[in-house]
């Protein structure tokens, strides 16, 4: 017996673009019912997509072990996230601030926070504290912890999601809320995909200061706005304002990304990269800079994260199926339920890529609906047909490919 991985698609409403791209297929979907912390369903539960957006439903709990969290009274809960990811992101001429709370989501449904801990020295909102220094005692062995809202999240590199490989381009780890991908720390040396693999270097360096009386842009502060002097209690690098832009020997911009070729985007994309030092330790700004590169999709950031899907979408499911090494054959199945009112499911198999049409006809042979007319990849598809606007009676549905045509009958009873 051989295990084949097949792509299953469920279409709702009218037909949408069937091209399967990384923001659709990269998610770690839970197809076996595995649970994580406290018995909560783990990883990503469902993925849908339209022509312009991918929708990710997840609990925020990974399938690997998390916890404990020293000196942190919070514990993670099922957040019932629904995120909306732009499939064709665009740069933002006025970059948005990557604020507190979730700013992106990993392929396993766990959310990402910025590098800060949402607090500042003496609560003056001038010297902003970094979670890596002030909260790391509460990080678990994967580098994450729960928020006061009980959302499990990362401020830094997530150790259990993947293993960095200095000899290979890092995988897609997730997507930020502007729709651009997040990669691990290793990428192609040159932005055109050549030159071998190397660690992506941050665009920031620690300032050469012993007192915190000025800001990185040179602003001289009054004494009542000074930060603490650099010391063992407040080492250089524990505040955002301890860093300034690098002038040489860096790869990434102020957002912590660059436009480049990647394995998933051979034509190039803007991409964020996790930053680590030569020893593998988290390095500022860790995941993202203070602002996004692209236009942020509304509804994901706090107090959002529970987007309502209001457009026709396709569900994308990956599942394991046992098969005796035989490919899936061309087939059109009987709709179910049948009779139906008002919706029914039409399932069919495609054994190779090609133009596929699925149409519905009334008893006189008049076409009343075109459910599919697109080049599809091989897989099993389930299309929902809604007969709400049609009268009771017998209808026919017909599947056509280059080498196949089959028609079946269904009954609508109102």
Q: Which two tokens stand for residue 333?
A: 């199945």
Is position 299 within any domain?
no
Clarify whether residues 66 and 203 are in a common domain. Answer: yes
Point out the domain boundary residue: 238, 273, 308. 273
Clarify whether residues 369 and 251 are in a common domain. Answer: no
Within 8 A by CB and 6+ apart from 133, the residues are 235, 237, 238
Is position 37 within any domain?
yes
Domain membership of residue 403 as a residue range: 322-412
Q: Are 30 and 402 in contact (CB under 8 A)?
A: no
Q: Are 36 and 109 in contact (CB under 8 A)?
A: no
Point out the domain boundary residue: 254, 273, 292. 273
The stretch 319-341 carries a mean pLDDT of 68
Please say if the pLDDT value at position 17 is more than 50: no
Is position 52 within any domain?
yes
Closest C-alpha among 126, 158, 138, 175 to residue 23:
175
Within 8 A by CB and 6+ apart from 39, the residues are none
80-108 pLDDT, tens digit per residue, is 999 999 999 999 999 999 999 999 999 99
DSSP 296: P
d(CA 155, CA 132): 7
d(CA 152, CA 81): 12
Please say if the pLDDT value at position 20 is more than 80: no
Clarify whether residues 196 and 74 are in a common domain. Answer: yes
Clarify whether residues 268 and 328 are in a common domain. Answer: no
CATH number at residue 405: 2.60.40.2550
**Nearest 5 degrees, angle CA 114-CA 47-CA 152?**
35
If one compares 378 and 216, the residue with the highest pLDDT of the two is 216
Clarify whether residues 89 and 191 are in a common domain. Answer: yes
d(CA 85, CA 214): 39
- Report pLDDT for 381: 80
pTM, to two decimals: 0.79
Clarify whether residues 127 and 230 are in a common domain. Answer: yes
Clarify whether residues 95 and 220 are in a common domain. Answer: yes
- Strand-pairing partners, residue 342, are none
| Structural domains of the chain, count | 2
């Amino acid at each position: 017996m051989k295990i084949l991985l097949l792509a299953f698609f469920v279409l709702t409403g009218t037909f949408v673009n069937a091209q399967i791209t990384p923001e659709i297929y990269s998610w770690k979907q839970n197809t076996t019912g595995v649970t994580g912390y406290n018995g909560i369903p783990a990883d990503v539960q469902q993925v849908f997509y339209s022509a312009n957006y991918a929708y990710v439903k997840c609990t925020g709990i990974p399938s690997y072990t998390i916890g404990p969290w020293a000196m942190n009274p919070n514990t993670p809960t099922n957040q019932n996230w629904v995120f909306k990811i732009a499939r064709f992101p665009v740069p933002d001429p006025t970059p948005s601030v990557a604020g507190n709370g979730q700013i992106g989501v990993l392929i396993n449904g766990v959310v990402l926070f910025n590098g800060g801990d949402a607090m500042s020295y003496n609560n003056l909102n001038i010297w902003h504290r970094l979670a890596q220094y002030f909260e790391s005692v509460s990080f678990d062995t994967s580098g994450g912890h729960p928020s006061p809202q009980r959302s499990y999240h990362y401020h830094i590199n997530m150790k259990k999601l993947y293993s960095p490989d200095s000899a290979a381009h890092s995988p897609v780890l997730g997507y930020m809320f502007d729709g651009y991908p997040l990669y691990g720390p290793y990428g192609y040396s040159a932005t055109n995909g050549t030159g071998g693999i190397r660690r992506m270097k941050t665009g920031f360096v620690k300032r050469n200061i012993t007192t915190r009386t000025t800001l990185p842009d040179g602003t001289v502060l009054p004494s009542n706005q000074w930060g603490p002097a650099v010391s063992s209690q407040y080492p250089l690098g524990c505040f955002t304002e301890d860093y300034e832009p690098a002038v040489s020997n860096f790869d990434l911009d102020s957002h912590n990304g660059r436009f480049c070729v990647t394995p998933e985007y051979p034509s190039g994309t803007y991409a964020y990269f996790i930053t680590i030092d030569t020893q593998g330790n988290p390095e500022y700004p860790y995941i993202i800079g203070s602002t996004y590169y692209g236009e942020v999709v509304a509804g994901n950031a706090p107090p959002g994260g529970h987007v309502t899907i209001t457009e026709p979408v396709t569900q994308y499911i990956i599942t394991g199926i046992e098969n005796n090494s035989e490919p899936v054959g061309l087939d059109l199945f009987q709709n179910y339920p049948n009779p139906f009112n008002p919706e029914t499911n039409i399932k069919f198999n495609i054994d190779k890529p090609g133009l596929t049409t699925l149409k519905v006809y009334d008893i006189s042979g008049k076409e009343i609906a075109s459910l599919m007319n697109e080049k599809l990849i091989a897989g099993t598809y389930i299309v929902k047909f809604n007969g709400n606007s049609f009268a009771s009676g017998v209808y026919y549905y017909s599947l056509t490919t280059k080498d196949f045509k089959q028609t079946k009958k269904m009954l609508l009873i109102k």
